[in-house]
Amino acid sequence: MKRIKMGCTTLSIPAMALGIMRMNQKSVPEAQVAIQAAYDAGINFIDSADIYGGGKSEEIFGQAFSQMQIKREEMFIQSKTGIVPGKRYDFSKEHILHSVDEILERMQLDYLDSLVLHRPDALMDPEEVAEAFDQLQAAGKVRFFGVSNFDTAQFKLLQSCLSQRLMFNQLQFSLKHTGMIDFGMHMNMVDKPSVDRDSQFLDYARLHKVTVQAWSPFQYGMFEGTFIDNDDFPKLNQELQKLADKYEVGKNAIAAAWILRHPANIQMLVGSMNPQHIRDSAKGAKIRLTRQEWYDLYLAAGNYLP
C-alpha cells in the first residue's frame, strides 16, 4: 500500500482508508471480514462518523474489532461529529465532548486517532471549538483533528483559534466529481467548469500541508450510485476496462489510481464492505497512470478541456 505523510507531520498513513458508513448493514463476522481484507491490503486507517447507521456502524465495528487479533496501535481510527439527527449541525463544546464519549463507547476504544468536524456549522464559534479540542487532547481522548467539506475561509477561520494543526479536510472527489480541478484548467473562461465551487482548497492544502480525504470515490452525484459498470456511463466504463485489462486489475483499482495520481497526496476513502471490492481498490495504490491515461479517463468521464 502506498503511504503518504499525514498533514504537516512525519507520520505515515496509507493512501486509502476504509469508510464504515455501511457497516450497520453487516453482521459482526461480516464486518470482521471487511476489516481484515482492508488490513491485509495495507489499509490500517478507519473512517467513521457518529451518524453512520444511527450509531450502529460504530457499534458493529466495536464488537468486530474487539474480537480480532489486530492490535489497537496498529490501526488509525477516525470518526466525525457535528451532524445532528433532525437536520441541523452542532459544533458546540458540549455536543463535541458528549459525542466523542459516545463514539468511544460504541467503538470500544480508549481514544480516537482523529476527530473530524462533519460539514460546516453556520453557528460555529471557533473559540468554543478550540476549547473542546484542547480538553479532548488533554484528556487523551483524541490525538489529531480535522474537518469535512470546509471551504478555504472556513478552514482558515477555525485554524486561527486552534492550538492544534488541522490535519484533514474531507471533500468529494472522483472521476464524476471533478470540480476541484476543473476550474483551474478553465481559468479565464466563462463556461460552467470555470466556476470555482471549492475556493481553491486543493491548492491551499498543498501549500499548507493539509491532507485531503476524498469521499465517494466511485460515486456520481452525491449519493446517486456508482459509475462503475453503470450503463449510463459507457465511455467511462470502456476506458476503465481498457486500463484494467492493461494493468490486470478491476475497474475500481483504475478509478482509485486516477485519484491517487494527483500530486496533492490525496487519501482516498473506500466505503465498500465487499472484501473483493476492497482488495481490488487497494491495487490502485500500486498503479501510476501515465499523464495521457489520466487525461483520457478525465475526458471519458464527460469532462472537456478548453
Q: Which of 12, 6, 3 is nearest to 144 (CA)?
A: 6
C-alpha cell at 17: 482508508
pLDDT score for 12: 97
Question: Mean pLDDT throughout 215-231?
Answer: 91
Question: Mean pLDDT throughout 141-167?
Answer: 98
In angstroms, the CA 239 to CA 190 distance is 29
Q: Which of 234, 268, 264 is nearest to 252 (CA)?
A: 268
Torsion of Cα atoms, 81 then 82 then 84 then 90, to 10°: 150
Phi-psi sector, 8: left (phi>0), alpha (psi -120 to 50), beta: alpha
Q: Specify if 305 maps to a domain.
A: no
Question: Mean pLDDT throughout 286-294?
Answer: 98
> What CATH number corresponds to the domain at position 102?
3.20.20.100
The total domain count for the chain is 1
C-alpha to C-alpha distances, 129 to 47, 95, 153, 282, 300, nearest whole angstrom: 21, 10, 16, 35, 43
pLDDT score for 222: 77
Q: What is the mean pLDDT of the chain?
A: 96
pLDDT score for 217: 94
Confidence of residue 202 (pLDDT cuts 50, 70, 90): very high
Q: Specify if 21 maps to a domain.
A: yes
- Percent of the chain, pLDDT > 90? 95
Confidence of residue 263 (pLDDT cuts 50, 70, 90): very high
Q: Which of 109, 258, 245 is nearest to 181 (CA)?
A: 258
pLDDT score for 86: 83
The residue type at 288: R
Q: Specify if 284 maps to a domain.
A: yes
Question: Mean pLDDT throughout 204-224?
Answer: 93
Strand partners, 106: none
| Catalytic positions, written as ranges | 52
- CB neighbourhood size of 199 (10 A): 16
Question: Mean pLDDT throughout 159-182?
Answer: 97
Residue 223 has pLDDT above 90, yes or no: no
pLDDT tens for 75-124 read 999 999 999 988 899 999 999 999 999 999 999 999 999 999 999 999 99
pTM over 0.85? The answer is yes
Q: Specify if 216 maps to a domain.
A: yes
Structural domain boundaries, residue 186: 3-300
pLDDT score for 128: 98
pLDDT score for 85: 86
DSSP states of 161-179: T-SSPEEEEEEE-BTTB-H
